[in-house]
Amino acid sequence: MEKGMIKVSVLYPNGEGKNFDMDYYCNQHVRMVGELLGDSVKAATVEKGLGGGEPGSTAAYAAMGNLYFASMDSFQSSFGPNAEKIMGDLPNFTNIEPVVQISEVMI
């Protein structure tokens, strides 16, 4: 990643009664998002939570998805028109309300 890029993180908090279908997320949702946002996405990662800081503890997040964009304008102009379709797909893989954070890559 390059300094100044925009990173959009979508975090799915873990918890009792919360479900997350990693197979659907990786093979359907992420592919759909990539097709909708096109070349504005410079990189993407998906992470599966394995544990917390203490041995044997539960991960704070079941999963995290990260998208990288060259600029805030690039993110907003590609995501905005597709937000409804992207967010509408959430019930197909999770019952978790995601937490979204937009960050600037510093190093």
Distance between CA 33 and CA 23 in Å, rounded? 15
Mean pLDDT of 1-7: 95
Distance between CA 58 and CA 39 in Å, rounded? 36
**Residue 97 maps to a domain:** yes
**Residue 10 maps to a domain:** yes
Report which of 39, 14, 17 is spatially closest to residue 98, judged by C-alpha positions.
Answer: 14
**Residue 1 maps to a domain:** no
Domain with 11 in it: 6-104
**Residue 55 maps to a domain:** yes
**Residue 12 maps to a domain:** yes
Average pLDDT, the chain: 97
**Residue 61 maps to a domain:** yes
Total tally of structural domains belonging to the chain:
1
pLDDT at 1 over 90: no
- 32-48 confidence digits (pLDDT tens): 999 999 999 999 999 99
**Residue 54 maps to a domain:** yes
Check which CATH number belongs to the domain holding 27 and give it: 3.30.70.100
What predicted TM-score, i.e. pTM, was given to this entire model? 0.94
